[in-house]
Chain A
C-alpha cells in the first residue's frame, strides 16, 4: 500500500517547484517545459540528494518511487496520445520532395553520427550484457528524435506556424517522431525477444498486424467521434471515457505484443480524425490534468534517476560534450544542409535546423525506456538528459539569432494554419512539453 501522506507530499513539492522554475524559465524566454525538466533534476540526486540527503531520503525514499512512477507513466501514456493526435500525415504530402528529403536527412544524419559515436562510447559506457547493435541503434534513435510539441509551441509563440519554415518544420518533426518511434519499437523488440522464447518474427508480425488493423480498421470507427462532435458540438462523458478506454486498450495491446505501452497510445492518437476543431476539443478535455499534474511527475521521476554526480572527471565530461556536439551537428547540421539543398534560403535553413534540434520531453521518454531496458547505463542516461536539456534550451535563443523576426516577416509562402491539427496543438497556453 502506498504511503498516501508521502505520495501527496511528493506531488505537492513537485508541482510547486515545477511551476516556480517553469515560470522563471518563461520569463527568460524559454518554453515552460525546459524549466520543468530542470526542476526535475533539482529534485534528484544531482542537487537535493547531494545538498540535503536527509530531506531527499525523507521526501523520496526508494520504496515510494514505484507509485510516483506509475502515476507519471499514466501521464505519459495520455500525453503520447495527444502527441499522436497532433500529427497529421497529410501535412507532409503537401510539402513534396523538399520536406521528404529534409525529414529523412534529419533522421539519418544524427542517426549515423550517433552510431559512429557509439563505436567510441560502447567500450567506455556500456557493458557486455548489451549488444553493440542495440546500443548503437538506441543512441541513433535517441539523437534523431524531435520534440514535436515543443517545436509547435515555439513556432506558435513566434507566429511562425503558417510560414514556410514553420510548416516544413512541423512536417519534418512529424516524420522524425513517427520514424524514431518505429526504430525504438524495433530496438525494444530486438532486446526483449533476445531474452524470451518468442521469435522476433512472431513479435514483429504481431505488431505489423496490430498497426494495420488500427490504421485500416479502427481509424474508420474513430470517425464516429468526429461525426458526433460535428452534430452536437460536444462529446458526452461516456464518449470521452470510451476514447480514453481505447487509448488504454491500444497501449495494453502494444505492451502485450512486446514493445511498450507508449507505442499504442501514440498510434491511437495518430489515427484519430484530424479536423482542427475536433482535435482542439479533445486536447482541451485531456491536456490540462496531463500537462499540469502528471507530466511534472514524469519530470521529477526522470530527475530522480538522473545523477549528474556520475558524470565526474574530465573524461566523463568530455563524453558528455561529445554527445551534445554530435547530437547538434547531426540534427541541426543535417536538417540545415538538406533544406538548403532543397532550395530554402540559408538563414531559413539554419532556423529549420535549430528547430529540429529541440528534443524536450520526447527525448526524456525515450531515455527512460532505454534505462528501463538497460540498453544505456545510468551515467550515459544522465549525459543524454543533459543533452536533451541543452539542445532544448538553445533552440529559442539560436532561432532568434539566425532567424530574426524581421527576416521571417519578409519570407514568402505564408499559409493559413487554422484548419490543421497542429494549429490546434500549438494554441497559446496549451501543450508545452
Chain B
C-alpha cells in the first residue's frame, strides 16, 4: 500500500468514520429525550351551544354546525384558530398536558360577531394523552366580561398531525 493511500485511509477513518460512530451514539442517546405532547391538528369542538351563544363573540361559533379548532404546533408553542371564528390566530403555550391560548379578534370580525371592543378570548384546556384519538377538555372565556360564565368544552382530534407520507 502506498503512503498516499495509507494517509487517505487514516484521514478518512478519523474524519468520516469516527463522526459516523458519534452519530450512532447521538441517535441512541436521543431516543431517551421527551418532546412536548402533540396537539397539532384539527379538533372538533363539542360544547353547549346555548351557553356558548351567551358569551360575547360566541354567537357565530355556536351557530356553526361543525365548529373546530385548528392548532399548528412548534414545540411548546402553538397557534390556534377557530373555524368560523375570528380571522386571526391565537398564540398559546403548552405546559405538560395543559395548554393556554388567548386571542384578540380582529376589529371587523368583532363588529360582525357583536363582541364589543377590547375583548380577548381565552382558552384553557388539558390534553388527555392516553385517549385515542386525543381529546382536550377545558374552558372558553372572554376577558373584560365579569358577568360571563366560562363555557366548558371538549374537543376530539379529527385529523392526526402525523399523516406522515401524505403530501
For B11, the chain A residues whose CB sits under 8 A away are 101, 338, 341-342
B162 within 8 A of A: yes
Q: Which residues from 360 to 400 on chain A have a C-beta closer than 8 Å to any C-beta of chain B?
A: 372-375, 377-380
Whole-angstrom distance between the Cβ of A183 and the nearest chain B Cβ: 11
A192 within 8 A of B: yes
Binds A, one of B59-67, B68-76, B113-121, B135-143: B68-76
A129, B39: Cα distance in complex, Å: 9
A251, B38: Cα distance in complex, Å: 32
Q: Which of B37, B40, B106 has the most CB of A within 10 A?
A: B40
B35 engages A127 (CB within 8 Å): yes
Q: Which of A112, A118, A140, A337 has the most CB of B within 10 A?
A: A112
| Known contacts A115-B26, A125-B74, A128-B35: A104-B16 contact under CB 8 Å | yes
A123, B165: Cα distance in complex, Å: 23
A130 engages B35 (CB within 8 Å): yes
For B20, the chain A residues whose CB sits under 8 A away are 108, 112
Whole-angstrom distance between the Cβ of B27 and the nearest chain A Cβ: 5
For B15, the chain A residues whose CB sits under 8 A away are 101, 104-105, 108-109, 337-338, 341
A378 engages B12 (CB within 8 Å): no
A133, B28: Cα distance in complex, Å: 8
Whole-angstrom distance between the Cβ of B109 and the nearest chain A Cβ: 12
B72 engages A374 (CB within 8 Å): no
B40 engages A129 (CB within 8 Å): yes
B35 engages A101 (CB within 8 Å): no
For A379, the chain B residues whose CB sits under 8 A away are 74-75, 77
A373 engages B167 (CB within 8 Å): yes
Whole-angstrom distance between the Cβ of A154 and the nearest chain B Cβ: 26
What's the interface size class on B, roughly?
Answer: 35 or more
A13 within 8 A of B: no
Whole-angstrom distance between the Cβ of A384 and the nearest chain B Cβ: 12
Q: Mark A323-342, 1 if CB is under 8 A from B, else 0.
A: 00000000000000110011
A127 engages B38 (CB within 8 Å): yes
Q: Which of B15, B72, B87 has the most CB of A within 10 A?
A: B15
B29 engages A119 (CB within 8 Å): yes
A378 engages B31 (CB within 8 Å): no
A377, B77: Cα distance in complex, Å: 10
B167 engages A108 (CB within 8 Å): no
Chain A residues bordering chain B, tally (CB within 8 A) = 51
Whole-angstrom distance between the Cβ of A171 and the nearest chain B Cβ: 16
Contact of A374 among B40, B75, B79, B88 (CB under 8 A): B40
A194, closest chain B residue (CB): B164
Q: Which residues from 46 to 105 on chain B have a C-beta closer than 8 Å to any C-beta of chain A?
A: 72-77, 79, 87-88
A258, B164: Cα distance in complex, Å: 11
For A337, the chain B residues whose CB sits under 8 A away are 15
A132 within 8 A of B: yes
B162 engages A118 (CB within 8 Å): no
For B76, the chain A residues whose CB sits under 8 A away are 124
A108, B153: Cα distance in complex, Å: 50
For B19, the chain A residues whose CB sits under 8 A away are 108-109, 111-112
Whole-angstrom distance between the Cβ of B86 and the nearest chain A Cβ: 12
Q: Which residues from 4 to 35 on chain B have a C-beta closer than 8 Å to any C-beta of chain A?
A: 4-5, 8, 11-12, 15-16, 19-20, 22-23, 26-27, 29-31, 33-35
B160, closest chain A residue (CB): A129
A195 within 8 A of B: yes
A372, B162: Cα distance in complex, Å: 10
B15, closest chain A residue (CB): A105
B36 within 8 A of A: yes
B75 engages A118 (CB within 8 Å): no
B161 within 8 A of A: yes
Q: Mark B125-167, 1 if CB is under 8 A from A, else 0.
A: 0000000000000000000000000000000000011111101
Q: Which residues from 131 to 149 on chain A have a C-beta closer than 8 Å to any C-beta of chain B?
A: 132-133, 135-137, 140
For B5, the chain A residues whose CB sits under 8 A away are 97
| Known contacts A104-B16, A127-B35: A377-B73 contact under CB 8 Å | yes
B34, closest chain A residue (CB): A123
For A191, the chain B residues whose CB sits under 8 A away are 164-165
Q: Which of A53, A310, A374, A375 has the most CB of B within 10 A?
A: A374
A192 engages B164 (CB within 8 Å): yes
Q: Mark A187-205, 1 if CB is under 8 A from B, else 0.
A: 0100110111000000000
B164 engages A373 (CB within 8 Å): yes
A19 within 8 A of B: no
A377 engages B87 (CB within 8 Å): no
A373, B88: Cα distance in complex, Å: 25
For B162, the chain A residues whose CB sits under 8 A away are 129-130, 195, 374
6 contacts between A and B (CB under 8 A): A53-B88, A101-B11, A112-B19, A119-B29, A127-B37, A373-B164
For the complex of A and B, the 8 pairs showing the least CB-CB separation, nearest first, are: A192-B165, A379-B74, A377-B74, A129-B38, A132-B30, A127-B38, A125-B75, A129-B162
Other A-B pairs beyond A109-B19, A122-B33, A132-B30, 6, CB < 8 Å: A105-B15, A116-B26, A122-B35, A188-B165, A192-B165, A374-B162
Q: B: which residues have CB within 8 A of A? A: 4-5, 8, 11-12, 15-16, 19-20, 22-23, 26-27, 29-31, 33-40, 72-77, 79, 87-88, 106, 160-165, 167
